[in-house]
Chains A and B, each alone.
Chain A
Amino acid sequence: RKEVEQDPGPFNVPEGATVAFNCTYSNSASQSFFWYRQDCRKEPKLLMSVYSSGNEDGRFTAQLNRASQYISLLIRDSKLSDSATYLCVVHFGNEKLTFGTGTRLTIIP
Chain B
Amino acid sequence: EPEVTQTPSHQVTQMGQEVILRCVPISNHLYFYWYRQILGQKVEFLVSFYNNEISEKSEIFDDQFSVERPDGSNFTLKIRSTKLEDSAMYFCASITSWGSPLHFGNGTRLTVT
Chain A residues close to B by CB (< 8 Å) = 31-32, 34, 38, 41-46, 49, 87, 89, 91, 94-102
Q: A43-B105, A45-B104, A95-B55 are in contact. List 7 more A-B contacts (CB 8 A).
A: A31-B99, A43-B91, A89-B101, A89-B102, A91-B99, A96-B58, A101-B41
Q: How large is the interface on B (under 10, 10 to 19, 20 to 34, 35 or more residues)?
A: 20 to 34
Of the candidates A34, A49, A95, the one whose C-beta lies within 8 Å of that of B31 is A95
Of the candidates A41, A94, A100, A101, the one whose C-beta lies within 8 Å of that of B56 is A94
The 7 closest A-B pairs by CB, nearest first: A95-B56, A95-B48, A43-B104, A99-B43, A32-B99, A96-B45, A101-B42
Chain B residues close to A by CB (< 8 Å) = 31, 33, 35, 41-45, 48, 50, 55-56, 58, 89, 91, 99-107, 109
In angstroms, Cα B99 to Cα A34, docked, is: 10
Question: Which A residues touch B55, using CB under 8 A?
Answer: 95
